[in-house]
Amino acid sequence: MTAAVLVLGLLIFAVLLWTANRFFAVPPGPVDEARHALLTSRFALIEAAHGAAGMATALFVPGCGVSLCLLFLVAHRPRMRVRLLWAAAAVTDAIYTLADYVLPIWNWAPPTAALAVAISAVGDWIGRRGGK
């Protein structure tokens, strides 16, 4: 669900940005009254596009936190070594280097992965103490 919110927000961002560039392109020349209205519409669409992307990313991070908390309800979790390998793979993945140009989330990947591993380790520690 969290990924769907992110994908939908980025899809809305792409459609609004494409619409602004395709149908509200600014012709060269001085800015008169007609071009001023075109510029106003273009900037409004671009601002709405950035708002949609910002909202999607703002909802994605807490959604990942909720998903991580729901992970603690699962009885069988992977071992810490496996979780650390997954976190390392998420942080150092070279396939998505194009995506870090498009997605601002890449800047949050290392601290988010570190936080997920830390919260997971605390959950394991609490689970072991509760079982004794």
pLDDT in tens, 24-78: 988 888 888 888 889 999 999 999 999 999 998 888 878 877 777 776 666 567 7
pLDDT of residue 44: 95
pLDDT of residue 18: 93
Report which of residues 92 and 23 the model is more confident about.
23
Report which of residues 3 and 132 the model is more confident about.
3
**In which residue are the tokens 């976190």 written?**
87
Question: pLDDT tens across 89-130, in order?
Answer: 666 665 554 444 445 555 666 676 777 777 777 777 777 776
- Give one DSSP letter per residue of the chain, joined into a string: -HHHHHHHHHHHHHHHHHHHHHHSPPPSS---HHHHHHHHHHHHHHHHHHHHHHHHHHHHHHHHHHHHHHHTT-S----HHHHHHHHHHHHH-SGGGTHHHH-GGGGGHHHHHHHHHHHHHHHHHHHHHHH-
Q: Which residues contact 113 (CB under 8 A, 6 or more apart)?
A: 87, 88, 90, 91
- Domain spans in the chain, listed from the N-terminal domain onward: 1-71, 73-132
